[in-house]
Amino acid sequence: MTDAPDADEPSSAAPPSRRRGDAARRAPATGETAAAIESQLRAMRTDAEHHIAQARAEFDQANERIKQRTGRDLILAILIGVAIGVVVVASLIFVKWLFAFFALGAMVLGVLEFSRALQVSGRRVDLVPQLAAGVLLLASGYLTGLWMHWVATLVAVALVVVWRLVAQLHAGDGRAHNEVFADVLVAVFVQLYVPFLTSMALILLAEDGGEWWVLAFLVLAVVADTGAYVSGLTFGRGGRHPMAPRISPKKTWEGFAGAFVAALAAGVLLAVFMLGVPWWAGLIFGAVVLATATVGDLGESMLKRDLGIKDMSSWLPGHGGVLDRLDSILPSATAALALYYVLSPLGVS
C-alpha cells in the first residue's frame, strides 16, 4: 500500500491550471529578454560596421595622400612587390636556375617596354634582334662564365647594329644620316642597358654561392629604396632639399639619408649572417650598392624625362613598368659581381 503524503509536504506536481498560469507569466519575460539581446547585437553590429567604415575611409585618405605625393598606389605596390619578392626569394633559395628564367622574363619585358617608348619618340628599334641578342647574353652569362660572355656581348652588339643598317637600306625612305646614326646608337644602348646588365646577375648567380650574393644585393636595393621612401615621406615633405630637381623633383636628400642608413645597416647584417664576410665588408657592400642604385634610379628618371613619359609602362600596377622597378637593380648587379670577386675571398671557408 502506498503511503499518503503528509499534509505539511508540498505536492511535487502542481495542478495543470497552475502550471499553465506560470508558463503564461514566464513567456512575456523570455520574449522580452530575447528581444533585448537581439537589439543589443544589432547595436553592436552597427557600431562595428561604423568603426570599420571609418577606419577604411581614414586608410583610403592616407593612401590617397601618399599616392599624390609619390604617384604610387600603395596597396597595389605592396601586394605586387610581395608577390614578386616571394617568387625571387624562393627561386634563389631552392632552385636557383629558376631565377635565370625569371631574369629572362624580366629582360624580355624590359626590352619590349623600352623599345616601345623609344619608338613612340621617333626612334627605330628592331625587336627581333634585340630579343635574340638578349637571350644570347643571358644564356652565355649563366652557362659560359665571364670571359666568354665578352665575346657574346660583341656578337650581340654586332647583331643589333647590322640588323638596323640592313633594315634601313631596305626601307629606302631617305632617312637622314644623323637619324640613322642615332637609331644605331639607341640599338646598342638598349642592348647594353637591359640584357647586358641583367646578364651580370646571372654571371654572379652561376658562381659558387653566388645565389646568396644575388639575394643580398636585391635585398639591399629594396631596403635602400624603402628607407628613402619612408625617410622622404617623413622628413622631406614638400621637397625641402631636392636631390636632382631637374631630373626627379620628388627625390630629396632626406630620402637619400634614410636610404644610406638603411643600406649600411642591411649591408652589415647581410655580410655577417648571409655572406659570411667581415662586418666592415658589409659597409662597403651597402655603400657601393646604394651608390649604383641611386645612379640607376636617377638615370632612368632622366631617360623618362627625355622621352616625355612618367612611367616606362603600366604593366605593374602601383609600380609603373618593369624597368621602373629594375632601374636601381640593373646597375647594382654589375657592382655586386665586382664586389663578389673582391670580398668573397675574405669569407670563412
Distance CA(213)–CA(201), nearest Å, equals 9
- In this prediction, residue 22 has a pLDDT band, given cuts at 50, 70 and 90, of low
Domain annotation covers residue 25:
no
| 178 shares a domain with 216 | no
pLDDT tens for 70-99 read 555 667 777 877 888 899 999 999 998 999
Per-residue pLDDT at 117 exceeds 80: yes
Grid cell listed for 186: 639607341
| 223 shares a domain with 331 | yes
Q: How many domains does the chain have?
A: 2
Grid cell listed for 106: 624580366
Domain annotation covers residue 243:
yes
Q: Which element (helix H / strand E) includes 203?
A: helix 197-206
- In this prediction, residue 239 has a pLDDT band, given cuts at 50, 70 and 90, of low
Q: What is the mean pLDDT of residues 270-279?
A: 95
Distance CA(58)–CA(105), nearest Å, equals 38
| 194 shares a domain with 234 | no
| pLDDT given at position 211 | 96
Distance CA(297)–CA(194), nearest Å, equals 14
Place of cell 622621352: 307
- DSSP state at residue 124: -
| 340 shares a domain with 238 | yes
- In this prediction, residue 346 has a pLDDT band, given cuts at 50, 70 and 90, of confident
Of 186, 206, 226, the residue that ends a domain is 206
Domain annotation covers residue 169:
yes
Q: What is the mean pLDDT of residues 185-212?
A: 96
Grid cell listed for 288: 657601393
| pLDDT given at position 80 | 79
| 226 shares a domain with 121 | no
Helices 74-94 and 16-70: angle between axes, nearest 10 degrees: 80
| pLDDT given at position 349 | 44
| pLDDT given at position 30 | 64
pLDDT tens for 32-78 read 677 778 778 888 878 777 778 776 676 666 556 655 555 556 677 77
Domain of residue 142 covers 73-206
Domain annotation covers residue 7:
no
| 242 shares a domain with 126 | no
| pLDDT given at position 62 | 59
| Cα 206–Cα 105–Cα 308 angle in degrees, nearest 5 | 120
Sign of the CA dihedral with 310 first, then 313, 317, and 323 last: negative
| 266 shares a domain with 180 | no
Grid cell listed for 138: 643571358
Domain annotation covers residue 12:
no
Per-residue pLDDT at 9 exceeds 50: no
Residue 320 pairs in a beta bridge with: 316
Q: What is the mean pLDDT of residues 297-323?
A: 81
| 157 shares a domain with 289 | no
- Report the b/e string of 184-194 with b at 16+ CB within 10 A: bebbbbbbebb
| 217 shares a domain with 191 | no
What residue type is 22 in one-letter code?
D
| pLDDT given at position 84 | 86
| Chain centre to alpha carbon of residue 123 | 30
Grid cell listed for 1: 500500500
What percent of the chain has a predicted confidence (pLDDT) above 90?
53
| pLDDT given at position 154 | 97
Of 206, 226, 256, the residue that ends a domain is 206
Distance CA(90)–CA(87), nearest Å, equals 5
What pTM value is reported for the model?
0.78
